Amino acid sequence: AQSVAQPEDQVNVAEGNPLTVKCTYSVSGNPYLFWYVQYPNRGLQFLLKYITGDNLVKGSYGFEAEFNKSQTSFHLKKPSALVSDSALYFCAVRDPSFSGGYNKLIFGAGTRLAVHP
């Protein structure tokens, strides 16, 4: 079965330090991977995606993610965290059993990032 795991419920980091939010996936075939961010009582905002090509993907707000096929991981990273980065982060993978224009996503449970001043 297709699945996404975010092993950490919460990540704490000091402002200015690098941050990593972990994501591993299990999907048949080539994975299409996404990261979204959610601020309190708001919808999800798209950060970045991996479809093919370079394993290091750059996205919005200085975030990047590294695709590692052998480890089936897609960790989100940022070189220097800001307090304003504090939010809930979701990793998602496209469900390959869907086709025809749909993009059914399988979401992880989310990781709460807390950046302390």
Partner 1 sequence: DGGITQSPKYLFRKEGQNVTLSCEQNLNHDAMYWYRQDPGQGLRLIYYSQIVNDFQKGDIAEGYSVSREKKESFPLTVTSAQKNPTAFYLCASSMWAGETGEQYFGPGTRLTVT
DSSP state of 65: E
Q: Is 94 near partner 1 (CB under 8 A)?
A: yes
Q: Does 100 bind partner 1 (CB under 8 A)?
A: yes
With CB under 8 A as the contact rule, which of the stretches 21-29, 62-70, 73-81, 92-100 interacts with partner 1? 92-100
Closer Cβ to partner 1, 82 or 106, answer by number? 106
Q: How far apart are CA 33 and CA 47, in angstroms?
A: 11
Spatial neighbors of 65 by CB under 8 A, at least 6 apart, are 33, 35, 47, 48, 50, 56, 57, 59, 74, 75, 76, 77
Binding site for partner 1 (CB under 8 A): 4, 9, 32, 34, 36, 41-46, 49, 51, 90, 92, 94, 98-110
